[in-house]
Structure 1
Amino acid sequence: MKSFDKNSLIFRKQLIIVFLLIVYFVYPQNTLSVTLFNNEIKGESEQPILKFKDGKFKILQFTDIHWVNGDSYRKGNDSTLLLMRKLIKAEHPDLVIITGDVVVSWGAAESWKEVTQPMVEAKVPFAVTFGNHDAETDITTSQVLELLKTIPYNVTYNSNNNISGVGNCTLPIKSSDGNQDKWVLYLFDSHDYPKDKTFGYYDWIKHDQIDWYRNQSDYYTQKDGKIIPSLAFFHIPLPEYVQVQYISSLIGTKKDDVCAPNLNSGLFSSLLEKRDVLGVFTGHDHNNDYLVDANGEICLAYGRKTGYNSAYKEVLERGARVINLYEDDRCFSTYIETLSDKLNNYTFEKKGQTCPYPIAEGTFIQESLVTNWDDARWQQELEMLKGVGMKYLIFAPSLFTDKNGKDKYLYPSSFSKKSERTSNNLIDLCLRNAKKCGVKIFIGLNFNDKWWSASFTPDWLYQQMERGNKIADELISLYKEKYGDTMYGWYWVWEVDNLHAITNENQEILANALNINLDHLNKVTPDMPFMLSPYMNQKVGTADANQKMWESVFAKTHFKNGDIFSPQDGVGAGGLDVDKLSEWFSGMRQAVNSKPGLKFWANVESFDHRFWTNAPLSRFKQQMEAVNPYVNKIITFAYSHYYSPFQVNKQYHDAYLEYYKTGKLLKVSVPEPVSDLVLKIKKNEMVVLKWKSPKDKSNLMGYYVYKDGILVANIQNKNIDDSDTEFIDKKGSQNNLYEVSSYNVNGEESIKVKTHM
């Protein structure tokens, strides 16, 4: 419970103590006595086993029930029980967790039995973390724990009797077959009030509890051979609930100040270091129910106050928080549920999975690459992508219209003629194989090549959006039920830059176009995120102007919680220099923060537009490191096209795989230089360069060609033995100085060899 008047709380506590002393001396045989309470403990109830069902596990968080014994509070208590029963019936949770301030008055033993009845009746396992008021009764929290052990379906216990607090425990959630730990829940006692108020009014989680958590985290990691995704539950919020508001926007309601300890004992930093806890869930502040996605690193969330008895002026409808876990995903979805509504649905996805360094977690793939792929080839590619941590594939568009108005559908649309379709149903092939591999697909709708001319009217653009809605409806009817969550999201194929949307008029047009799709897609597929991936060019604008442009667009658009803004970093296309990424992405992070619930990803380009070759891994790593502090996740355009071992030299994939596993670039030797570089002038005045490749080609990825000190060519080939050892310059002469170097997978080059006639 939050307090606006700390003196009144102290006075209330003193009154309770006086009352209990009177009861003890006047009625020594009263059922409130510790002796009789202990006699009521007749044995522990067997703990249920928590496990996934069909890949899902649902938690219902009740908090701040504030049960007060007595006739004058009966109406509030009855309303609380009715709410708990209705929400349990509506949600069918696999576990209920009550995060503190449960029973806050005398008669606690009987009250605890009453307040746990909704779970017992529904045969739902439940756990409890204690709040600052749970000890202000006629029994201690240790005695409450002993009582809970006798109640069916309780799973609360003391994991270690030698650490501070009561009810610190871990609750592993088993796989559907019961053979593996898939998730771990950590329950902490956040205590009540420190004896010395020098360091604030509320107590803090102690160092021995933090050490216990760290040891448990290590235990599960070693036992299972990997970091196990986890959640933490306790009553009093951490001090970081204040700081995190400056990282990302709030999703939900904040009407109270955060009543956290003034002293920071370091639990949050341990959670970040261990990388297992995805979310922290607390109560305490009755008019707060918000969550904050801290840049994909961790989610800090409040529950919704459940109890109807008010401790002070309370404005929120009573309810609970629902948390859905997924057996094979490091993510969870959550929302607030009341008797009248479901609010603020949001999916948190852990950044970088288990890696403390930036990695790409998804890639674009284009129709030109996959036109002739069969199931076996799709499986080959998807398994390769999963091996380097890829979870998302963006496949777009479903309908392409060229500049002459000719349509090409990637699936057998009822809107198309047979001649307008690809020979294979590429959408079905993609979804079918992705489902088998556990990869999530973003599907692009329609695109018209006229977009690039920028010579269209707003009405034409709006008509294209309406056409996209019809495509979406058809894709949903054909594939959504069939492939379920594999058909994960939508991709807006129309690429926006920071030049054509800079005016207020164009921003209005852009927002209107987006809303035509957003309004429709949010209605028909509310659980599918919508992704927008614009690009930037530093030659036509500034980072500050780009930020203001997107703030203006976001203010007008109807993005929902969980939609994704994933700008292209522009390095591959030549729009931004690597050293400008921090400035531009910092500004866009601020723009995204102006739109609550909007996620910020980065689309890092793995190519070099000058020669349409793959970028060296050193540059790709540098790009990811530059944007990583600002974004929730990183995807790339495009691994399958520029790093796949089935598309380019296998060493690129092998080297990136090593980086994915270790966070370090593979150390390879610099190739030997070329030899016998010769310049010849042909009759038509073309310059022809020829050279001999190094004898040792083990680390050779290609050749850089320089003309008067400027890079003019990058010669690559999937099999370097077959690569050209010739370069033709139609605009050169014997007066130019040409140089050629060989390079490895990281772009490290040999000495440059100069030409001779």
Structure 2
Amino acid sequence: MMFSFQTLLVLTYLSGTSFALPAVQIPLLNDALDPYASPRPRVTFSTDGSFKLLVFSDLHFGERDRGDEKDAQSVQLMTRILAEEQPDYVVINGDLLTGDDTFASNVTAVLDQIFAPLNAARVPFSSTHGNHDNHLNITHAQEIEYEQAAAPLSYTRASPGVGGQGGEGCYWVPVYKNADDEAPALVLWFFDSRGGISSSGEALADWVDESVAEWIARETEQMNDAWGPSEQRAALAFTHIPPHFALDLQANLNSTLEPGLNEDHMGPHGSTQSTPGNDAFISSLAHNVKNLHALVSGHDHGLEWCKRETTTGVVLCFNKHSGYGGYGQDWWGFGARIFQFAPDEVTRGVETWIRLEDGSVRAKVHLNSQYE
């Protein structure tokens, strides 16, 4: 007998075999400027005033082909990097699963493997979701629901009515210098780029929905009213599938100024959000969110560089392929992208680099107003 994902959640909860719901769940409504209720504490900078954010991407857990072996290697990578880097926050930037190979009977166990290293490290984190996270037996909304239940320090949530079909995971997370500050120093934005197929087998749009542009304007207006002008704080943004302008950036890439692996050659189909007209959220982001240091994407496993788009001024950075699942070449390596904010320089810039599993570093750049 095959159960729905929702039924499976209820059954596993009642049996007590997989997870226990927290006493107080994260509210799904994005209608408050302090949206995280107890027991989730406010996210804060380190005591020395710095803030280190680590990005895992394209984990692709649950594949049919040697999935158990690959997943074990990915867990080992996550565990090692978390222990050695000691980040203040972690982002999983899409394609947690290979949903094509995932079934209602095993999906919670697969997700539990992903969350286990983060739960063990007791590090706060958020997820975006990718095209492989929408499939016949899994949706973005279902992954968000389960993550909230299974990971006590997950700050992933949803904004009902925003994001279009299959794109429920648009939200933001405030990060404070000190837990009792009135306003955050940094806001992390998360945009759901959808993609994949629906539970009924329909192909889903693979770009950030138009509704998100108005939502960004509305949310930042509330932030400005409550916290003061957005120039007083910094921002990072995350979406799994890169915006369409990534094509032009790659065509004019300077490997000296924009270092990093460049082994995926993006074409007009399947490697970016579909058409220029579907980048509406980028214009809204650039206009409304000040001190946006980067928009961070995954999806293309062989890319690692950062480059500024001159029309909007938005810097696009690619993640590092972290999971042993998914396509790629062994010599590309596996690892994470790191962002390091220095004390008292949060609004002025951030250093970022690729950190490989063996501890080596490459593609280090300083994203500030002079970065080209």
Report TM bin, short chain.
Answer: 0.7 to 0.9
Q: Which residue of 1 aligns with 2:16?
A: none
Instruction: Show the counterpart of 1:207.
Output: 210
Equivalent residues of 1:289, 1:303 under 8 A apart: yes
Deviation of the 1:140 alpha carbon: 2.3
Give distance in 2, aligned partners of 1:212 and 1:205: 12
Matches within 5 A, 1:545-564: none
Query: Number of aligned pairs?
Result: 321
Q: Is 2:281 aligned against 1:267?
A: yes
User: What is aligned with 1:350?
Assistant: 369
Relative to structure 1, the CA distance from residue 74 to residue 112 in structure 2 (aligned partners, 3 Å threshold; closer, same or farther) is same
Matches within 5 A, 1:522-537: none
Please list, as runs of the form range in 1=range in 2, the aligned pairs for 1:269-288 lying within 5 A after superposition. Answer: 269-276=283-290, 277-288=292-303
Counterpart check, 1:37 vs 2:9: yes
Q: Does 1:168 find its partner at 2:170?
A: yes
Aligned to 2:152: 152
Shift of 1:92: 0.5
The reply to whether residue 302 of structure 1 matches residue 295 of structure 2 is no
Partners of 1:297 and 1:350 within 8 A in 2? no
Q: Does residue 324 in structure 1 map to residue 324 in structure 2?
A: no
Deviating more after overlay: 205-214 vs 303-312: 303-312
Within 2, Cα distance between the matches of 1:92 and 1:219? 33
Q: Which deviations, in whole Å up to 9, do the C-alpha atoms of 1:429-461 show, x marking residues without a partner? A: xxxxxxxxxxxxxxxxxxxxxxxxxxxxxxxxx
SS at match of 1:192: coil
- The counterpart of 2:227, out of the listed 224, 230, 236, is 224
Q: Indicate yes or no: 2:200 matched with 1:192.
A: no
Q: Distance in 2 between matches of 1:66 and 1:328?
A: 37
Q: Structure 2 CA distance, aligned partners of 1:156 and 1:219?
A: 20
Deviation at 1:69, TM superposition (A): 5.3
Measure, in 1, the Cα distance between the counterparts of 2:5 and 2:228: 49
Asked whether the 8 Å contact 2:43–2:179 carries over to 1, the reply is: no
> Distance in 1 between the 2:261 and 2:217 partners?
32
* Matched residue SS, 1:181: coil
Mapping of residues 497-516 of structure 1, within 5 Å: none
Residue deviations 1:122-147 (CA, integer Å, cap 9, x gap) = 00011110000012252322121111
- CA distance in 1 between counterparts of 2:263 and 2:185 reads 36
Q: Map 1:373-452; keep pairs closer than 5 Å.
A: none
Match of residue 47 from structure 1: 40
Distance 2:197 2:97 in 1: 21
Residue 108 of structure 2: aligned partner: 109
Deviation (angstroms), 1:315: 4.4
Q: 1:283 to 1:111 in 2, by over 3 A?
A: same
User: Residue type matched to 1:241 in 2?
Assistant: A
- For residues 518-550 of structure 1, the C-alpha deviation after alignment (integer angstroms, 9 at most, x for no partner) is xxxxxxxxxxxxxxxxxxxxxxxxxxxxxxxxx
Residue 310 of structure 2 corresponds to residue 311 of structure 1: no
Return closer, same or farther for 1:261/1:162 CA change in 2, 3 Å cut-off.
closer
Q: Tell me if the contact between 1:48 and 1:155 (Cα under 8 Å) persists in the aligned partners.
A: no
Structure 2 distance, partners of 1:158, 1:327, is: 31
Q: Percent identity?
A: 24
For 1:149, what is the secondary structure of its paired residue?
Answer: helix
Deviation at 1:37, TM superposition (A): 2.3
Deviation at 1:50, TM superposition (A): 0.7
Q: Is the partner of 1:279 in helix, strand or coil?
A: strand
Code of the aligned partner of 2:275: L
Give the Cα–Cα distance (whole angstroms) in 1 for the partners of residues 5 and 319 of structure 2: 33
Q: In the alignment, is the contact (CA less than 8 A) between 1:52 and 1:327 conserved in 2?
A: no
| RMSD over equivalenced CA pairs, Å | 2.6
Provide the C-alpha distance between the structure 2 equivalents of 1:157 and 1:146, rounded to a whole number of angstroms.
Answer: 8
Question: What SS does the aligned partner of 2:174 have?
Answer: strand
1:462-518 C-alpha deviation (Å, 9 max, x unpaired)? xxxxxxxxxxxxxxxxxxxxxxxxxxxxxxxxxxxxxxxxxxxxxxxxxxxxxxxxx
Structure with more of its chain in helix, by fraction: 1
**SS at 1:148 equivalent:** helix
Corresponding position: 1:241 with 2:246: yes
Partner of 2:90: 96
For structure 1, the residue ranges without an aligned partner over 5 or more in a row are 1-26, 352-598, 600-631, 633-757
C-alpha distance after superposition, 1:631-662 (max 9, x if no partner): x6xxxxxxxxxxxxxxxxxxxxxxxxxxxxxx
1:14-57, Cα deviation, whole Å (9 max, x unpaired): xxxxxxxxxxxxx24x6x75412234355345323211122211
- Bigger radius of gyration, 1 or 2? 1
Cα distance, 1:88 vs. partner? Answer: 0.5
TM norm structure 2: 0.79
1:234 CA displacement: 1.2
Contact 2:194 2:204 in 1 (8 A): no
Structure 1 residue aligned with 2:263, among 255, 269, 273?
255
For 1:129, the aligned partner's letter is: T
Q: State whether structure 2 residue 51 is matched by structure 1 residue 57.
A: yes
1-structure distance, mates of 2:196, 2:66: 28
For 1:68, the aligned partner's letter is G
1:174-223 deviations in Å (ceiling 9; x for gaps):
1235302101011111000589xxxx996111111121112222222232
